[in-house]
A and B are shown apart, each in its own frame.
Chain A
Amino acid sequence: MSNLRIHEGPATPGPDVSRRSFLRTGAAAVSGMAALAAALSPLRELITNPTISVDQFLQKHYREMSPNEMEAALGRIRAKVEERYKVRPHVRDVKAMDGVEFAYALNLSRCIGCRKCVHACVAENNQSRSPEIQYIRVLEMPRGTMDVEKGNHHYDRPKVPDAAHFYLPVQCHQCANPPCVKVCPVEATWQEPDGITVIDYDWCIGCRYCEAACPYWARRFNFAEPSVASEQINPNMAYLSNRPRDRGVMEKCHFCLHRTREGRMPACLEICPTGARKFGNVLDPASEVFEIIKTKRVFVLKEEVGTLPRFFYYFDERYPNALDPEALAIGERLRREEGELFGAAPGRGGPDLGADMGAVAGATPVRWDGGRA
């Protein structure tokens, strides 16, 4: 056994042993270097990418920047937008207003699932068109359940709304107790005084912990370089909201803070054709959202997880529409299925109450359908 000879005399290695160990070490070193080079290859791209400057690399966190440093950062964003999209943007840093806490309310009785809000949001906030990033998901939910697991956001109908479904748009709920903020290892996302949870896109390291922590599927990740056509760019930008993002950072709904902090309405609300969306300052007793929370039976999604969302849903109290043939057909189907479940003859709608009542009263049974059945 020649192999044994390696260990016979470790103090006096022969030429055979040294070649073996050299080759072995050499192979291990080559594979190790190859692995290291593969692991570092993204850095090569970073270095050759001219859009990231040294200044940007050394830029401070949003909350640590002095006004001068912020102005320099905005200048860099301006130059980048002009270079990339050939449009002159209006970029600024909009601060939260005093005495304002934003809240959103959505009337599920009015939402028809037309997805206009989804695309108005994309147009306003310069989201990547391909690969596609959308902040709002409109879930098509079967009537009779609030289980979001049963929702489908890929519904594809020639016309909406469908009578057997209702529509539940979901976006960032701007929680008062946000789990996404807690998990961020670099404090790149935080809650502002007006309740909006924002992201410093230059500080985000793209670990996606926040995406995993969010119970509402509200956060989106730029897996690839975002692409927006120049003519589709919205030049009205703010540092914390809709300025163009880079690959590898998170983004999400920010209640259009570049609009709402200047008193305007969010883009999703203004485009809504039914007025299902309501927005305002919940600290103002005269505001619409205050009135809704006061007078309507509002609810939040996944209340049990304790996130305290600032996004409220409500239904209007409405009488069943007896003139709507689709609603009547659904009622008829439900009655028939119920009859099949509980063993009554189809079309009869369960046990014959008229006969029972007649038996009790000792009188001739009176059928609800006039005795035709």
Chain B
Amino acid sequence: MDTSPMTKPPPTGTDSGLMGWALPVAFLLLAGGVSAMPRRADIPLSDPAAVDRAALVVQPRRVALTDPPLTLVEGQPENCNACHQVFKSQNPGGTVPTFHSTIKLVHGLNDRCVNCHDPNDRERLTLRDAETVAFSEAPQLCAQCHGTVFRDWERGTHGKTLGSWMKSSPAHSRLACNQCHDPHAPKYPKMEPLPGPSTLRMGDQSSRAGEAVSENSLQRWLRRIREERATPKGGTTTKPATAPRSGGGHP
């Protein structure tokens, strides 16, 4: 081997010598620093809202009247005609029932009892052409006004199917109109939603109904801090972490 090149590297050799010392020391210092640092960022984490398995029951939304239709009279189930043959309705064309006080008729323009109920036989439903159908055939009655929805329901594109996706299966069951919709108030009421995901909330979450959208989460947090500083020390001691649904970090 020619030894003449060995006279050239001394300056770089000095550098690598220093680097050789400095690098391990720097890494050790860094490792020490990292391991000495607190492990978690100070985010107010909370357990996700749990929904009990037993609370999620699969069943039709409501129990529809079958044949013969029964109603509770003083706690006892009775046939409709048991009363209606004796007591004729005082106001059969009226919009507010005199006896069935729990019924609130909110069905748009369809606001007469006898539009659907047969005035002569209260255990039947009446169609437009004076034909009557049994309570179990209620969709035939609904179809007279809601034709397009009835068409969709017949095809299976509207409505709910329980049990099985196989039509041949004995478990396959299609729900009728009145197993989901209350015939007296068919529009679904608004519902309380189940809790949302508890991942870290990103961005502006000021989408609460009725809340001003002009303020973003940072501005809201600053406002809360200022409000806390403005209140005297002996007064309310609300911590930001316990404030309900604080806009920023976690639910």
Contact = CB atoms under 8 A, between A and B. Distances in A.
A128 B172 CA distance: 31
B87 interface: no
B99 interface: no
A296 B152 CA distance: 10
Contact of B164 (A27, A152, A158, A264): A264
Contact of B191 (A123, A159, A317): A159
Interface in B183-226: 188, 190-199, 201, 205, 207-209
B207 A140 contact: yes
A281 B165 contact: yes
Given A6-B13, A123-B56, A265-B165, A152 B207 contact: yes
Given A155-B207, A263-B164, A270-B162, A28 B24 contact: yes
Interface stretch (B14-22, B63-71, B126-134): B14-22
Contacts of A140: 207
Task: Give the contact-size bracket for chain A.
Answer: 35 or more
Interface string A224-264: 00000001101000000000000000000000000010011
B25 interface: yes
B163 interface: yes
A81 interface: no
Contact of A263 (B51, B162, B171): B171
Contacts of B27: 31, 35
Contact of B209 (A130, A157, A232, A323): A157
B121 to A, nearest CB: 31
Task: Give the contact-size bracket for chain B.
Answer: 35 or more
B33 to A, nearest CB: 14
Interface stretch (B90-98, B153-161, B233-241): B153-161
Interface stretch (A171-179, A271-279, A352-360): A271-279
B58 interface: yes
Given A119-B194, A160-B193, A287-B165, A154 B201 contact: yes
A113 B245 CA distance: 19
Contacts, number: 177
Contacts of A341: none
A316 B14 CA distance: 79
A89 B85 CA distance: 57
A348 interface: no
By DSSP majority rule, is chain B's interface helix, strand, loop, or mixed?
loop
A3 B17 contact: yes
A34 B31 contact: yes
A91 interface: no
A105 to B, nearest CB: 8
Nearest to A314: B157
B156 to A, nearest CB: 4
A154 B197 contact: yes
Contacts of B166: 263, 281
B190 A161 contact: yes
A143 interface: no
A131 to B, nearest CB: 8
Of the listed residues B25, B61, B164, B191, the one surrounded by the most CB atoms of chain A closer than 10 A to its CB is B191
A132 B198 contact: yes
Contacts of B207: 140, 152, 155-157
Given A114-B191, A130-B48, A271 B199 contact: no
A4 B188 contact: no
A212 interface: no
B14 A119 contact: no
Nearest to A324: B187
A272 B175 CA distance: 13
B21 A27 contact: yes
B192 A158 contact: yes
Given A28-B20, A130-B48, A275 B208 contact: no
A129 B17 contact: no
23 contacts: A4-B14, A24-B21, A31-B27, A38-B31, A112-B190, A119-B56, A120-B58, A130-B48, A132-B197, A132-B199, A152-B205, A155-B196, A159-B193, A159-B209, A232-B50, A264-B165, A265-B161, A265-B164, A270-B58, A281-B165, A287-B167, A316-B152, A323-B108
Interface of B: 6, 9-10, 13-14, 17, 20-21, 23-25, 27-28, 31, 47-48, 50-53, 56, 58, 61, 108, 148, 152, 155-167, 169, 171, 175, 180, 188, 190-199, 201, 205, 207-209, 245, 251
Interface of A: 1, 3-4, 6-7, 10, 20, 24, 27-28, 30-31, 34-35, 38, 107, 112-116, 118-120, 122-123, 129-132, 134, 137, 140, 152-162, 231-232, 234, 260, 263-265, 270-275, 278-281, 286-288, 291-292, 295-296, 316-317, 323
Given A7-B9, A137-B197, 12 more contacts: A31-B27, A38-B31, A114-B192, A115-B195, A154-B196, A156-B208, A156-B251, A160-B193, A265-B163, A273-B191, A281-B165, A316-B158
Ranked 10 nearest A-B pairs via Cβ: A275-B160, A288-B156, A159-B190, A132-B48, A27-B24, A115-B194, A119-B51, A123-B53, A270-B58, A280-B165
